[in-house]
Amino acid sequence: MRKHLCFVLVLLLCMTAVFAQGAQEKSEEVKYGELDLGYVDKDGDMVADHPEDPSEYLDPETLIFAYTPVEDPAVYEDVFQEFMEHLSKMTGKKVKWFAVDSYATQVEAMRAGRLHVSGFAAGSVQDAVNHGGFVPLAAMGYQGSMVGYTMQIIVRKDSGLKAISDLNGKTIAFVSESSNSGYSAPRALLYQLFGMLPEKNYIVAFSGKHDNSILGVYNGDYDAGAIASTVLTRMVNGDRVPDASQWCDVLYESQVFPVTAWGVTNRLSPELTEKIKEAFLSFDFVNSKLHESWPEDDSFIAIDYAKDYEVLRVIRDGSAAVAEILGE
């Protein structure tokens, strides 16, 4: 009887230890920022680290490569063929094109380890990083910088408006409710950075086009306008408005809106990841079909997700906050 009791006590102690260890392991499962549980970001760069256990690294004989969802994938397979051949030489692995039909499919394929190297459109990069283990490495650029546009809030020099806070009660021209740079982005940024809400702190007017917003500010129809910087440049170059320095003040200018990010799944080894990054940075972009499709760019450039894509995270957070406040 005593032996039986001792056996039961030992068994209970062992079970308690097992449960305690399981509870400790569960409690140690930490959520890193916006990354899904299961991803770790100990270096604080906002993207998933490589697995700590090298046995968990993916080492595929063939790298699966994809671009963003497009109407005619075969066209882009041809455009990227030279780069895929370069990637194969740099890594010593075969490279196979994978045509994705949706952003959700693309993110899930990377999460599952079926997609190894890919480009994610700017608007889907955050989801790919947080939910798919995507590690951004490069983007197309010109002379070392991303080619893109900024969102500006402009006023006339003679308006007496010198700061965003001066726009309280004023009319701001936006493009349309469906415009990113002409409505969604400025509305979100005005709230996130300055605490200003539409119809509470400023009056919303829709002009229909960036051009109309610019002309409306120039002609005094609107107090301010939220516009894409490239449109103002184009209108000045086309002599549709005088040189901006003569009549226009910029009260706020965003970061450059980032472009498609290229990178890998975090499940590849650090060594293979570095080879892939070097393949992007060393590719002869100018003498390739990529340059024919993206003539404004001359190379792939290294990127920093935390810094270069911050504006999109701010906009997403601001958009959600404004929508909740307004009951949309």
Q: What is the pLDDT of residues 290-327, one digit of tens each?
A: 999 999 999 999 999 999 999 999 999 999 999 999 99
What pLDDT is stored for residue 83 in this prediction? 98
Dihedral angle over CA of 202, 205, 207, 210, nearest 10: 20
What pLDDT is stored for residue 28 in this prediction? 53
pLDDT digits (tens, 9 = 90+) for 74-94: 899 999 999 999 999 999 999
What pLDDT is stored for residue 73 in this prediction? 86
Same topology between domain 54-146+258-308 and domain 151-255: yes
CATH architecture group of domain 151-255: 3-Layer(aba) Sandwich (3.40)
What pLDDT is stored for residue 13 in this prediction? 42
Residue 276 has pLDDT above 90, yes or no: yes
**What confidence category does residue 26 fall into, taking pLDDT thresholds of 50, 70 and 90?**
very low
Mean pLDDT score, 229-235: 92
What pLDDT is stored for residue 29 in this prediction? 59
The helix-helix angle for 103-111 and 122-132 (nearest 10°) equals 30
What pLDDT is stored for residue 71 in this prediction? 80
Order the strands of the 248-253 sheet from edge to edge: 203-206, 171-174, 224-228, 151-156, 248-253
Distances in Å between the alpha carbon of 11 and those of 6, 7, 16, 19? 9, 6, 9, 12
Residue 33 has pLDDT above 70, yes or no: yes
Share of the chain above pLDDT 90, in %: 80
pLDDT digits (tens, 9 = 90+) for 173-217: 999 988 878 899 999 999 999 999 999 999 999 999 999 999 999
Give phi and psi for 172, each to the nearest 5.
-110, 130
Share of the chain above pLDDT 70, in %: 91
**Cα–Cα dist 155/219, whole Å:** 11
Average pLDDT taken over every residue of the chain: 90
Q: Which amino acid makes up residue 205?
A: A
What pLDDT is stored for residue 70 in this prediction? 82
What pLDDT is stored for residue 32 in this prediction? 77
Class of CATH domain 54-146+258-308: alpha beta
Residue 10 has pLDDT above 50, yes or no: no
Please state the domain extents for the chain.
54-146+258-308, 151-255
Mean pLDDT score, 120-140: 95
The whole model's pTM is what? 0.81
Mean pLDDT score, 28-42: 83
**Cα–Cα dist 133/127, whole Å:** 9
